[in-house]
């Protein structure tokens, strides 16, 4: 099989390659350090990492000392290793978050390699830039979430498929490794996607019915076996009950129970939300598919990403849990399809996307600078008052380092976009640069304001100060996993379900107006609080009265 590779009239020079690499590196690294774990996903994920580091037990993921077997532990292992390696320079949560940068870097690398293989020597950079520009990836790429491990694994897998007709052994290595990384990061979804793509390609397209493709698939199973079997086997040997809880209760059984009820309205979630999650990749992808709709049997460079997107959309729409972060895998094939469109879109479309991006990010940047200055100078504008009310108690302080970085980023963005001439490749590069600018401003000027409302640090300190010096244990009612993790990390407070023990302290979570959930005749409230600006999570600490 021979992939169609359009000739690029504007090759990537070393200077341009350096600029694009710098842009991607800045995009990946910005926001990984400098703030506490944020609710909801980061707090829970880091709680598992912190339990690993504190206990020294890495086989079974635990949260506050209790087994937490929702997902396999590869991402948690990686985050724990990064946290330990950088513990002399960074807080544990910042070091752990570097694992996200590691997996996102791998994702961009293998997406670029797949794009270069499918569409030509200079298209790899475009594929990585388009993926980095997707709105739905920006925030999630800088959080401690296991989905980033799955994303990296699927990027490896797609690259392995792309080279399967030319280099079956190398293809098998990356298909198998990607399958294994995805499985050990997120569970059974990676093998399901691997199987459906593997069967669907030769079933729908004759170009994939070759001996080399079959050889690649068979060998990939061998490369994947250690990833697929070693940890589950060790877990089973350690505890058959815990293995059953992971494999059946939290995964296979949960899926079968959902399948028996059938899909519901939530199955349309991704169709409704992909237009913004995958912007600007999806309109470019839709254009190239529409343009080639009568030639898809001949366009073997489109078959892999098109089928992969269809498989991912269908599979992820029919699983029990539907969340925005679970849509990340679909961005990979969309970015590849969008890369294929760069050589066919008219200059007018390139100009439209470019000017739309320039105007959009210019307005956002001006608003962010103006809003920050209003907070710092307390100009009494309505928007300033709203920002202060949203984060009550926040006192803005000029951080010269953050201010300098924001100035440099803004000037560099202006220099980058202030160029003559328009092209589709320049349009997607300018879009990614604009996304990077907004993210830098958010993680410099606005980081203290954001961290003030998203961190549990101050709330836990207040709770810890109100606790008696000596107590037996702390039970809890309705306290979430992320909140329990932050109580453990910031305050060393271990919360228990209190089924058998008669704990003398009890922490209750509810809303501010809810009535106390405990009998006041046996319990005395000794503390009440919440995070700044959070009107939903309200905590009360009770102490058991003497009998």
- The whole-number average pLDDT for the span 156-185 is 97
Asked if the structure places residue 66 within a domain, the reply is: yes
Contact (Cβ atoms closer than 8 angstroms) between residue 123 and residue 102: no
pLDDT confidence of residue 13: 81
Contact (Cβ atoms closer than 8 angstroms) between residue 277 and residue 331: yes
172 and 188 co-located in one domain: yes
Q: Does residue 206 have a pLDDT over 60?
A: yes
Share of the chain above pLDDT 70, in %: 95
Tokens of 25: 């590196």
Taking the C-alpha atoms of residue 350 and residue 1, their distance in angstroms, rounded to an integer, is 31
214 and 109 co-located in one domain: yes
201 and 257 co-located in one domain: yes
Instruction: Name which of 257-271, 353-367, 419-433, 504-518 the model is least confident about.
Output: 504-518
- The whole-number average pLDDT for the span 269-292 is 94
Boundary (domain end) residue, out of 292, 317, 340: 340
Instruction: Name which of 6-10, 124-128, 420-424, 461-465 the model is least confident about.
Output: 6-10
Share of the chain above pLDDT 90, in %: 70
Asked if the structure places residue 30 within a domain, the reply is: no
Conformation bin of residue 161: beta by default, left when phi > 0, alpha when psi is -120 to 50: alpha
**62: enclosing H helix or E strand:** strand 62-63
Taking the C-alpha atoms of residue 146 and residue 181, their distance in angstroms, rounded to an integer, is 11
Instruction: Name which of 12-21, 74-83, 134-143, 443-452 the model is least confident about.
Output: 12-21
**pLDDT: is 228 or 300 the higher one?**
228
Asked if the structure places residue 387 within a domain, the reply is: yes
Asked if the structure places residue 8 within a domain, the reply is: no
17, β-bridge pairs: none
Asked if the structure places residue 244 within a domain, the reply is: yes
Rg over alpha carbons for the chain, rounded to the nearest Å, is 25
**pLDDT: is 2 or 124 the higher one?**
124
Cα torsion through 374, 376, 379, 383, rounded to 10: 40
pLDDT confidence of residue 264: 74
Q: Does residue 96 have a pLDDT over 60?
A: yes
Taking the C-alpha atoms of residue 76 and residue 92, their distance in angstroms, rounded to an integer, is 13
Residues counted in the chain: 547
Contact (Cβ atoms closer than 8 angstroms) between residue 340 and residue 118: yes
429 and 467 co-located in one domain: no
Provide the pairing of β-strand 66-67 with 62-63: antiparallel
433 and 286 co-located in one domain: no
Half-sphere exposure of 506 (CA within 13 A, CB side): 23
246 and 390 co-located in one domain: no
- The whole-number average pLDDT for the span 77-106 is 97
Locate all alpha helices (DSSP H) within 32-85, ordered by sequence.
41-55, 74-85
**66: enclosing H helix or E strand:** strand 66-67
Q: Does residue 263 have a pLDDT over 90?
A: no
244 and 297 co-located in one domain: yes
**pLDDT: is 502 or 274 the higher one?**
274
Contact (Cβ atoms closer than 8 angstroms) between residue 111 and residue 331: no
Boundary (domain end) residue, out of 454, 486, 506: 454
Boundary (domain end) residue, out of 454, 489, 508: 454
Q: Does residue 3 have a pLDDT over 60?
A: no
410 and 433 co-located in one domain: yes
Q: Does residue 8 have a pLDDT over 60?
A: no
Tokens of 343: 């050589």
Over residues 209-232, the pLDDT tens digits come to 999 999 999 999 999 999 999 999
Instruction: Name which of 259-268, 301-310, 392-401 the model is least confident about.
Output: 259-268
310 and 359 co-located in one domain: no
63 and 130 co-located in one domain: yes
Q: What is the mean pLDDT of the chain?
A: 91
Contact (Cβ atoms closer than 8 angstroms) between residue 294 and residue 196: no
Cis peptide before 40 (omega within 30 of 0): yes
Question: Angle, nearest 10°, between helix axes 424-444 and 123-133?
Answer: 40
Place of tokens 């704990």: 503
Over residues 476-533, the pLDDT tens digits come to 988 999 999 999 999 999 998 876 668 899 999 887 656 656 667 788 899 998 887 7
Taking the C-alpha atoms of residue 237 and residue 325, their distance in angstroms, rounded to an integer, is 33
Tokens of 203: 């079933």
Taking the C-alpha atoms of residue 129 and residue 26, their distance in angstroms, rounded to an integer, is 12
Q: What is the DSSP letter of 9?
A: S
pLDDT confidence of residue 2: 45
Contact (Cβ atoms closer than 8 angstroms) between residue 300 and residue 1: yes
Number of domains in the chain: 3
**542: enclosing H helix or E strand:** strand 538-544
Asked if the structure places residue 19 within a domain, the reply is: no
Contact (Cβ atoms closer than 8 angstroms) between residue 61 and residue 69: yes
- The whole-number average pLDDT for the span 97-126 is 95
Taking the C-alpha atoms of residue 511 and residue 539, their distance in angstroms, rounded to an integer, is 8
> Model pTM greater than 0.85?
yes
Instruction: Name which of 7-21, 66-80, 248-262 the model is least confident about.
Output: 7-21
pLDDT confidence of residue 421: 56
- The whole-number average pLDDT for the span 97-104 is 98
399 and 450 co-located in one domain: yes
* Of residues 448, 468, 285, the one with CA closest to residue 376: 448
Taking the C-alpha atoms of residue 130 and residue 137, their distance in angstroms, rounded to an integer, is 11
Taking the C-alpha atoms of residue 116 and residue 483, their distance in angstroms, rounded to an integer, is 44
Provide the pairing of β-strand 523-529 with 538-544: antiparallel
Contact (Cβ atoms closer than 8 angstroms) between residue 270 and residue 313: yes
Taking the C-alpha atoms of residue 130 and residue 246, their distance in angstroms, rounded to an integer, is 36
State which of 254-268, 351-365, 384-398 shows the largest mean pLDDT. Answer: 351-365
Over residues 25-52, the pLDDT tens digits come to 999 999 999 999 988 789 999 999 999 9
Contact (Cβ atoms closer than 8 angstroms) between residue 528 and residue 542: no
Asked if the structure places residue 100 within a domain, the reply is: yes
476 and 333 co-located in one domain: no
| Structure confidence at residue 452 as a pLDDT band (50, 70, 90) | confident
Contact (Cβ atoms closer than 8 angstroms) between residue 48 and residue 486: no
Asked if the structure places residue 251 within a domain, the reply is: yes
Question: Angle, nearest 10°, between helix axes 14-29 and 92-119?
Answer: 140
Taking the C-alpha atoms of residue 62 and residue 69, their distance in angstroms, rounded to an integer, is 8
- The whole-number average pLDDT for the span 168-183 is 97
CB-CB neighbours of 280 under 10 Å: 20
Taking the C-alpha atoms of residue 513 and residue 516, their distance in angstroms, rounded to an integer, is 9
Q: Does residue 23 have a pLDDT over 60?
A: yes
Look up the domain containing 139 and give its range: 41-340
């Amino acid at each position: 099989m021979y992939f169609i590779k359009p000739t690029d009239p504007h090759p990537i020079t070393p200077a341009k390659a350096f600029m694009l690499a710098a842009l991607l590196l800045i995009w990946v690294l910005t926001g990984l350090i400098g703030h506490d774990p944020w609710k909801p996903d980061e707090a829970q994920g880091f709680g598992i990492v912190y339990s690993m580091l504190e206990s020294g037990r890495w086989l079974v993921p635990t949260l506050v000392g209790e087994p937490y077997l929702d997902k396999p532990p590869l991402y948690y292992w990686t985050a724990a290793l990064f946290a330990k390696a950088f513990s002399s320079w960074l807080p544990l949560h910042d070091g752990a978050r570097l694992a996200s940068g590691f997996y996102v870097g791998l994702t961009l690398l293998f997406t670029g390699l797949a794009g270069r293989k499918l569409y030509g020597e200079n298209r790899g950079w475009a594929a990585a830039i388009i993926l980095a520009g997707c709105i739905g990836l920006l925030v999630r790429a800088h959080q401690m979430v296991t989905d980033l491990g799955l994303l990296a694994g699927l990027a490896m897998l797609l690259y392995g498929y792309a080279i399967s007709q030319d280099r079956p052994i190398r293809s098998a290595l990356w298909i198998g490794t990607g399958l294994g990384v995805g499985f050990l990061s997120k569970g059974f979804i990676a093998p399901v996607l691997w199987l459906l793509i593997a069967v669907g390609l030769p079933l729908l397209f004759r170009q994939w019915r070759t001996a080399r493709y079959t050889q690649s698939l068979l060998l990939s199973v061998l490369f994947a076996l250690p990833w697929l079997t070693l940890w589950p086997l060790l877990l089973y040997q350690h505890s058959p009950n815990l293995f059953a809880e992971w494999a059946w209760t939290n995964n296979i059984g949960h899926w079968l129970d959902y399948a028996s009820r059938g899909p519901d309205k939530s199955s349309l979630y991704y169709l409704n939300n992909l237009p913004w999650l995958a912007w600007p990749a999806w309109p470019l992808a839709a254009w190239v598919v529409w343009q080639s709709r009568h030639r898809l049997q001949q366009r073997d460079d489109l078959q892999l990403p098109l089928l992969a997107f269809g498989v991912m959309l269908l599979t992820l729409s029919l699983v029990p849990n539907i969340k925005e972060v679970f849509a990340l895998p679909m961005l990979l094939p969309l970015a590849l399809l969008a890369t294929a469109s760069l050589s066919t879109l008219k200059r007018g479309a390139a100009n439209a996307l470019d000017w739309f991006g320039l105007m959009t990010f210019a307005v956002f940047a001006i608003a962010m600078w103006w809003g920050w200055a209003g907070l710092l100078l307390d100009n009494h504008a309505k928007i300033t008052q709203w920002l202060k009310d949203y984060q009550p108690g926040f006192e803005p302080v000029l951080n010269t380092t953050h201010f300098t970085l924001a100035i440099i980023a803004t000037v560099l963005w202006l220099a980058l976009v202030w160029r003559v001439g328009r092209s589709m490749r320049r349009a997607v590069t300018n879009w990614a640069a604009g996304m990077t600018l907004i993210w830098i401003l958010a993680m410099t000027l606005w980081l203290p304001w954001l961290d003030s409302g998203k961190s549990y640090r101050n709330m836990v300190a207040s709770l810890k100060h109100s606790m008696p010096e000596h107590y037996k244990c702390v039970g809890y009612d309705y306290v979430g996993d992320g909140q329990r993790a932050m109580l453990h990390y910031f305050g060393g407070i271990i919360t228990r379900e209190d089924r058998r023990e008669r704990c003398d302290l009890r922490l209750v979570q509810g809303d501010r107006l809810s009535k106390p959930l405990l009998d006041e005749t046996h319990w005395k409230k000794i503390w009440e609080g919440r995070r700044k600006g959070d009107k939903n999570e309200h905590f009360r600490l009770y102490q058991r009265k003497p009998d």
